[in-house]
Amino acid sequence: MNMRIGELAKLTGCQPETVRFYEQKGLLPPPLRSQANYRIYDAAHAERLHFIRRCRSLGMSLDEVQTLLGFQDHPDQPCGGVNDLVDRHMLSINGQIAELQALHDQLSKLRQTCDSARPAGQCEILKQLSDTTPPLPANESIV
């Protein structure tokens, strides 16, 4: 199954620029070229691109994807490194969740300062956002 870049992009749900980007980053091997110098991709390119896109949909960095592709390219290696990478990625996500929860808590407290619609000049949210004192870290409060 040979296809050009537009066909590969459509098959994998991405843009041709994305395919070129992954080629430039070394995540996709260079395709063969037709006599007219068109890129010619095969099923292996499509499978690899699906793998890359799945990893990216899980929030993995290009470096993480590159590492996982290295394991995939060398199937005789033990997969402990894959487990370690996924564990580190989950720890990173847990940190992001904690940061987002703290941000949510701050916004919730800010929202509670304005309980009714009033002229913007009297809005407590706007007043607090205009405050020039440095904001407290998310996990601290005024005592």
Taking only the tens place, the pLDDT of each residue in 58-95 is 999 999 999 999 999 999 999 999 999 999 999 999 99
Angle, helices 5-12/16-24, rounded to nearest 10 degrees? 100
The CATH number of the structural domain formed by 5-73 is 1.10.1660.10
Taking only the tens place, the pLDDT of each residue in 23-68 is 999 999 999 999 999 999 999 999 999 999 999 999 999 999 999 9
Cα–Cα distance for residue pair 45/55, rounded to 1 Å? 15
Exposed / middle / buried, residue 104 (Cβ in 10 Å: 0-12, 13-18, 19+): exposed
Nearest to 52 by CA among 40, 35, 64: 64
pTM > 0.95: no
